[in-house]
Structure 1
Amino acid sequence: MKQLDQQVARRLTRFYVMALTVIAVLSVSGLLFIRRTISTHYADSRVVNVAGRQRMLSQRLTKLAVLRTTGLSSADTVSFDSLLHSWSQTHMQLRNGILAMEQAYMVRKSATLDSMFTRIEPAFRSIYKSFIRINNPQTTPADQQKALQIILKDEPAFLQQMNDIVFQFDTESFGRVKQLERIEWILTIATLLTLVIEGLFIFRPVVNYTKLIIHRLDRSEKTLQLVNRDLDVANRELAATNQNLAASNRKLVDTQQELLRTTEEKYQLQLAEDTVRSAALLEGQEEERRRFARELHDGIGQMLTGLKLHAEKLKSVSFPDEKHRLRFAELCDMIADTIQTTRQVSYNLMPSTLSDFGLGPTLQLLAEQTTRSAGIDVLFEGNRDGERLSPAMEIGLYRIAQEALHNAIKYAEAKTIQINLQQNPDKLVLLVSDNGKGFSVKTPSKVDKPLPMVNGLENMRTRSRLLNGELTIVSKPKKGTTVTVTVNLS
Structure 2
Amino acid sequence: MNQLDQQVARRLTRFYVLALTVIAILSISGLLFIRRMLSDHDDDSRVVNVAGRQRMLSQRLTKLAVLQTTGLTTTDTASFTALLTTWSQSQNQLRNGVLRMEKEYAVRKSRQLDTMFSQLEPVFQSMYQSLVRISDTRARPEEKKAALQTVLRAEPQFLEQMNAIVFRFDQESFERVRLLEQIEWVLTVATLLTLLIEGLLIFRPVVTHTKDVIRKLTESDEALRKANENLAVANTELENTNRQLVITQRELLWASEEKYRLQMVEETVRSAALLEGQEEERRRFARELHDGIGQMLTGLKLRAERLKVIPFPEPKHRQQFDELCDLIYDVIQTTRQTSHNLMPSVLSDFGLGAALQFLAEQTARASGIDVAFEGSTGEKRLSPAVEIGLYRIAQEALNNAVKHAEARKIRISWQNEDAKITLSVEDDGKGFQPKIGLKERQIPVIKGLENMRTRARLLNGEFTILSKPKKGTKVIVHVPDTNHA
Q: Deviation at 1:226?
A: 1.3
Q: Does 1:263 align with 2:263?
A: yes
The equivalent of 2:462 in structure 1 is none
Q: Does 1:362 align with 2:366?
A: yes
Q: Deviation at 1:215?
A: 0.7
Corresponding residue to 2:109 among 101, 107, 110: 107
Deviations 1:239-287 (A, max 9, x none): 1232133223223322321332232234234424533543454466457
Letter of the 1:422 counterpart: E
Which aligned pairs between 1:279-358 and structure 2 lie closer than 5 A? 279=279, 281-282=281-282, 285=285, 289=289, 295=295, 299-305=299-305, 307-312=306-311, 315=312, 335-336=321-322, 338-350=324-336, 358=362
Cα gap change, 1:421/1:212 in structure 2, threshold over 3 Å: closer, same or farther?
closer
The equivalent of 2:50 in structure 1 is 52
Aligned length: 362
Deviations 1:376-407 (A, max 9, x none): xxxxxxxx343357997897699999xxxxxx
2:298 and 2:281 map into 1 onto residues whose CA distance is: 25
2:327 and 2:134 map into 1 onto residues whose CA distance is: 80
The equivalent of 1:248 in structure 2 is 248
2:148 and 2:299 map into 1 onto residues whose CA distance is: 97
1:79 and 1:423 map into 2 onto residues whose CA distance is: 58
Equivalent pair of 2:52/2:166 in contact (CA under 8 Å): no
Letter of the 1:239 counterpart: E
- The root-mean-square deviation of aligned C-alpha atoms, in Å, is 6.5
Equivalent pair of 2:48/2:170 in contact (CA under 8 Å): no
Moved more, 79-88 or 267-276: 79-88
Which aligned pairs between 1:139-150 and structure 2 lie closer than 5 A? 139-140=139-140, 143-144=143-144, 147=147
2:55 and 2:286 map into 1 onto residues whose CA distance is: 79
Cα gap change, 1:387/1:44 in structure 2, threshold over 3 Å: closer, same or farther?
farther
1:296 and 1:398 map into 2 onto residues whose CA distance is: 32
Letter of the 2:50 counterpart: G
SS at 1:107's partner residue? coil
Gaps of 5+ in 2: 1-14, 72-78, 339-357, 375-390, 411-425, 431-438, 455-471, 477-485
Equivalent pair of 2:407/2:427 in contact (CA under 8 Å): yes
Q: Deviation at 1:119?
A: 12
Equivalent pair of 1:301/1:343 in contact (CA under 8 Å): yes
Equivalent pair of 1:127/1:154 in contact (CA under 8 Å): yes
Q: Deviation at 1:311?
A: 0.8
Cα gap change, 1:51/1:158 in structure 2, threshold over 3 Å: closer, same or farther?
farther
TM-score, scaled relative to structure 1? 0.50
Which aligned pairs between 1:160-171 and structure 2 lie closer than 5 A? 169=169
SS at 2:406's partner residue? strand
Equivalent pair of 1:293/1:347 in contact (CA under 8 Å): no
Equivalent pair of 2:290/2:336 in contact (CA under 8 Å): yes
Q: Deviation at 1:290?
A: 6.0
Equivalent pair of 1:123/1:158 in contact (CA under 8 Å): yes
Q: Deviation at 1:232?
A: 1.0
The equivalent of 2:344 in structure 1 is none
Cα gap change, 1:237/1:191 in structure 2, threshold over 3 Å: closer, same or farther?
same
1:351 and 1:197 map into 2 onto residues whose CA distance is: 85
The equivalent of 2:173 in structure 1 is 173
1:128 and 1:136 map into 2 onto residues whose CA distance is: 12
Letter of the 2:334 counterpart: N
2:37 and 2:284 map into 1 onto residues whose CA distance is: 74
Q: Deviation at 1:211?
A: 0.6
The equivalent of 1:423 in structure 2 is 407
Letter of the 1:228 counterpart: N
Q: Deviation at 1:166?
A: 6.0
The equivalent of 1:221 in structure 2 is 221
Letter of the 1:344 counterpart: D
The equivalent of 1:212 in structure 2 is 212
Cα gap change, 1:190/1:238 in structure 2, threshold over 3 Å: closer, same or farther?
closer
1:357 and 1:349 map into 2 onto residues whose CA distance is: 18
Q: Deviation at 1:125?
A: 6.0
Deviations 1:299-349 (A, max 9, x none): 5424422x233213xx5xxxxxxxxx68x996x677546424422322332
1:301 and 1:79 map into 2 onto residues whose CA distance is: 88
The equivalent of 1:386 in structure 2 is 370
2:316 and 2:189 map into 1 onto residues whose CA distance is: 109
Letter of the 1:107 counterpart: K
SS at 1:247's partner residue? helix
TM-score, scaled relative to structure 2? 0.50
Cα gap change, 1:254/1:467 in structure 2, threshold over 3 Å: closer, same or farther?
closer
Equivalent pair of 1:126/1:154 in contact (CA under 8 Å): yes
The equivalent of 1:133 in structure 2 is 133
SS at 2:330's partner residue? helix
Query: Percent identity over the alignment?
Result: 24
Q: Deviation at 1:212?
A: 2.8
The equivalent of 2:278 in structure 1 is 278
2:277 and 2:131 map into 1 onto residues whose CA distance is: 88
1:114 and 1:36 map into 2 onto residues whose CA distance is: 30
SS at 1:387's partner residue? strand
The equivalent of 2:347 in structure 1 is none
Moved more, 223-232 or 335-344: 335-344
